[in-house]
């Protein structure tokens, strides 16, 4: 295509985005927009799928049948979220299996939070309350993302996430109404999850290389720091109400700004985990790779069965 | 390892009797029957539907978005297809 032509197309594209007209799969879009979305949506999908693993760790040890049924339903939702998102990636022309193989080879990233281990039952509560809570902060604005299929998938996901957050908070509340040991278990769990939850919003705005362009394209609606502040502001009072102490000596409500001031995140830890050196990175990716390899016979069997059934139907007609 | 991937299916859900099926997304499945079963698990975990249609994506024929202008232009220039185009004298009722 001629250069002038491309410039016109790019200008029309940005104009549509500025006027809040959604971009749909077959519409013209700049290559960089397409690539950014493929990267973001596939990594989002991987996060949903990998996110099943820390919770799967507690299915057989859930304290009662109700908790077990709820946990299973939540894990099934995460699988569903992954599927909505892989479908959205495919509308951009990406190959679903290639994106999954990128996860397995370590080329594609996923949310670093899932590289932390789930050591106690209280962690199931913290994940629902904090991790899904942070995910909701991130995902609600994505419902208005400029790319139609991603925005529509996010609407479905957000509806389901609020159950995840509430069930998690209920677990924590229950523990905080319990014995001294149960309260300690909840506090110990919060101590481990608080900072990684804040890291979920990504680097500070000054260090986030994609933010400005993503905001211009209306893929992102708020910066990392804005979302992180929103999360802190809603979560701190929740913790206080149930008697938990946020593990941050610098945390303080600022009367002037109307927001909580909070301490500096350990960015060295953040980058270590992003680069694959977190407590569970190797284990998580190995589990995903094994799941694909061990499940390959199911895919083949389904194909064989479909072929057999098609032949039989042909004969009958 | 077989590289043959399950085909892609578009999923349509009727949310309740009296409403049309509406596109909700897509999924992969080895054949139509398995696509319906997968659609139930992926798209109706919270009673979102009473009926499911699946259509193999390869069978969908779509208009070209870059041709949308000329394709839909004939409708734009025919304001006389709308009731507001016509003047009704004052005092006329039930029209």
pLDDT at A2: 66
Q: DSSP secondary-structure letter at A179? A: -
User: How far is the C-alpha of A273 from the C-alpha of B52, rounded, in Å?
Assistant: 42
Measured between CB atoms, which of A83, A97, A305 is closest to B27? A83
CA distances to A223, A233, A245, A289 from A253, rounded to whole Å, are 21, 9, 14, 45
Nearest-CB residue to A26 (from B33, B42, B62) = B62
What does the pLDDT read at residue A1? 54
Residue B24: the pLDDT is 95
Cβ-count burial A225-249 (b if 16+ within 10 Å, e if not): bebbbbbbeebbeebeebebebebe
In tens, the pLDDT along B78-95 reads: 999 999 999 999 999 998
A166, A194, A47, A42 alpha-carbon torsion, rounded to 10°: 110
Checking if the pLDDT of B2 tops 80, the result is: no
ipTM score for this prediction = 0.90
Q: Closest to A302 (Cβ–Cβ): which among B6, B26, B42? A: B6
CB contact under 8 Å between B30 and A28, yes or no, is no
Min Cα separation A76/chain B (Å): 9
Q: What is the pLDDT of residue B70?
A: 92
Asked if pLDDT for residue B1 goes beyond 50, the answer is no
Backbone phi, then psi, for A181, in 5-degree steps?
-65, -40
What residue ranges of chain A have pLDDT lower than 50?
A: none
Dump pLDDT digits (tens) for A16-73: 999 999 999 999 999 999 999 999 999 999 999 999 999 999 999 999 999 999 999 9
Give B42's contacts in chain A (Cβ within 8 Å).
80, 83-84
Nearest to A306 among B26, B34, B46 (CB): B34
Chain A positions touching B2 (Cβ under 8 A) are: 296, 299-300, 303
In the predicted model, what is the mean pLDDT of residues B51-65?
Answer: 96
Q: Do A305 and B46 touch (CB under 8 A)?
A: no
Shortest CA distance from A157: residue in chain B:
B43
Tell me if the pTM is above 0.90: yes
Q: What are phi and psi of B52, to 5 degrees?
A: -125, 135
**For B26-53, what is each residue's pLDDT tens digit?**
999 999 999 999 999 999 999 999 999 9
Tell me the shortest Cα–Cα distance from A248 to chain B, in angstroms: 39
What average pLDDT does the structure give for chain B? 93
CB-count exposure of residue A258 (10 Å: 0-12, 13-18, 19+) = exposed
Q: Residues of chain B with pLDDT > 90: what percent?
A: 84
- In this predicted structure, what is the pLDDT of residue B3? 66
Q: Is the pLDDT of residue B75 over 50?
A: yes
Break chain A down into helix, strand, coil percent, rounded to 5: 70, 5, 25
């Amino acid at each position: 295509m001629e250069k002038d032509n491309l410039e016109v197309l790019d200008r029309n594209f940005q104009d549509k985005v500025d006027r809040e007209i959604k971009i749909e799969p077959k519409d013209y879009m700049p290559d960089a927009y397409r690539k950014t979305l493929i990267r973001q949506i596939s990594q989002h999908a991987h996060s949903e799928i990998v996110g099943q693993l820390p919770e799967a760790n507690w299915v057989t040890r859930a304290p009662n049948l109700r908790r077990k049924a709820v946990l299973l339903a939540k894990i099934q939702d995460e699988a569903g979220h992954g599927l909505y998102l892989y479908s959205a990636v495919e509308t951009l022309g990406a190959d679903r299996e290639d994106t999954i193989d990128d996860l397995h080879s370590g080329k594609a990233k996923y949310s670093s939070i899932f590289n932390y281990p789930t050591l106690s039952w209280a962690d199931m509560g913290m994940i629902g309350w904090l991790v899904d809570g942070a995910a909701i902060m991130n995902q609600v604005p994505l419902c208005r993302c400029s790319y139609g299929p991603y925005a529509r998938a996010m609407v479905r996901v957000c509806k389901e996430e609020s159950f995840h957050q509430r069930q998690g908070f209920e677990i924590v509340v229950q523990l905080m109404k319990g014995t001294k040991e149960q309260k300690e278990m909840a506090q110990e769990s919060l101590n481990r999850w608080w900072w990684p939850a804040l890291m979920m919003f990504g680097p500070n705005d000054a260090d986030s290389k994609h933010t400005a362009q993503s905001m211009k394209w209306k893929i992102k609606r708020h910066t990392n720091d804005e979302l992180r502040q929103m999360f802190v502001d809603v979560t701190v009072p929740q913790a206080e109400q149930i008697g938990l102490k946020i593990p941050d000596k610098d945390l303080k409500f600022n009367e002037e700004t109307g927001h909580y001031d909070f301490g500096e995140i350990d960015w060295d830890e953040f980058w270590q985990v992003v680069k694959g050196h977190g407590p569970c990175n190797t284990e998580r990716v190995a589990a995903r790779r094994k799941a694909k390899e061990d499940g390959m016979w199911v895919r083949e069997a389904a194909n064989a069965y479909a072929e057999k059934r098609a032949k039989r139907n042909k004969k009958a007609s | 390892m077989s590289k043959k991937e399950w085909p892609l299916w578009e999923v349509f859900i009727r949310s309740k009797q009296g409403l049309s099926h509406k596109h909700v997304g897509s999924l992969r499945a080895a054949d139509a029957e398995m696509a319906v079963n997968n659609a139930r698990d992926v798209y109706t975990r919270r009673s979102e539907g009473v009926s499911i249609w699946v259509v193999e994506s390869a069978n969908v024929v779509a208009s070209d978005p870059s041709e949308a202008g000329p394709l839909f232009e004939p409708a734009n220039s025919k304001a006389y297809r709308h009731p507001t185009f016509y003047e009704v004298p004052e005092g006329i009722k039930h029209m």
